[in-house]
Chains A and B, each alone.
Chain A
Amino acid sequence: DIQMTQSPSSLSASVGDRVTITCRASQGISNYLAWYQQKPGKVPKLLIYAASTLQSGVPSRFSGSGSGTDFTLTISSLQPEDVATYYCQKYNSAPRITFGPGTKVDIK
């Protein structure tokens, strides 16, 4: 089975900082990679799919890139409302799906 890892597991940054989260697959998954945001006590929300396609309504400060095994989620200018845990998810073998372990983002 393909394993998903994320780094860092947590980070603390200042408002306005550029934040980058990395997701790595143990084998190539082309661009079958999505990113979700889960704010504390809330339901997960789809941010990005197909590695770089922004879901409708998601602020443009969020962007995704990568293909194959290495992917990144970037927040260009961190906002207080971005405090959340971010999960990557592979779906190249749908319906079998795997989430990464998550990256918790806080404000410094």
Chain B
Amino acid sequence: EVQLVESGGGLVQPGRSLRLSCAASGFTFDDYAMHWVRQAPGKGLEWVSGISWNSGSIGYADSVKGRFTISRDNAKNSLYLQMNSLRAEDTALYYCAKDMESVVISGVFDYWGQGTLVTVSS
């Protein structure tokens, strides 16, 4: 059974940093691209960032480019999102999502974690 478990969310002041983690199990982690998707309270889905299986291809939404960094550790079956210079508008539930294709980034998400809540407020 595929499982994605996010952690690391919490309350943080504007301008500070936070690192999210996603622990993956139930599939061959290093075969698949992975993504972060967020959802502000009462709002729609927003793709944040994606990373290929070997970290060779990485993409960011314009809203986070230059502030967020995605990474992965295939030996630990883990995905990360380093978030710097946080703003109030970054407040959201952050989901880890598995890409449905192996090796390439398809951009289709077949499994999602339960999410971790990030609140940016003074």
Give A residues with C-beta under 8 Å from B. Answer: 1, 32, 34, 36, 38, 43-46, 49, 55, 85, 87, 89, 91, 94-102
Give B residues with C-beta under 8 Å from A. Answer: 33, 35, 37, 44-47, 49-52, 57-59, 61-62, 95, 100, 105-110, 112-115
Among the interface residues A85, A89, A96, A97, which one has the most CB atoms of the partner chain B within 10 A? A97
Q: Taking chain B's interface residues, is the majority helix, strand, or loop, or is none over half, making it mixed?
A: strand
Given known pairs A94-B105, A95-B105, the reply for A87 and B50 (CB within 8 Å) is no
Docked-complex contact B59 and A96, CB < 8 angstroms: yes
A45 to B37 alpha-carbon distance, docked (Å): 13
Nearest chain A residue, comparing its CB with the CB of B70: A95
Docked-complex contact A95 and B100, CB < 8 angstroms: no
| A89: chain B residues within 8 A (beta carbon) | 45, 47, 107-108
Nearest chain A residue, comparing its CB with the CB of B97: A44
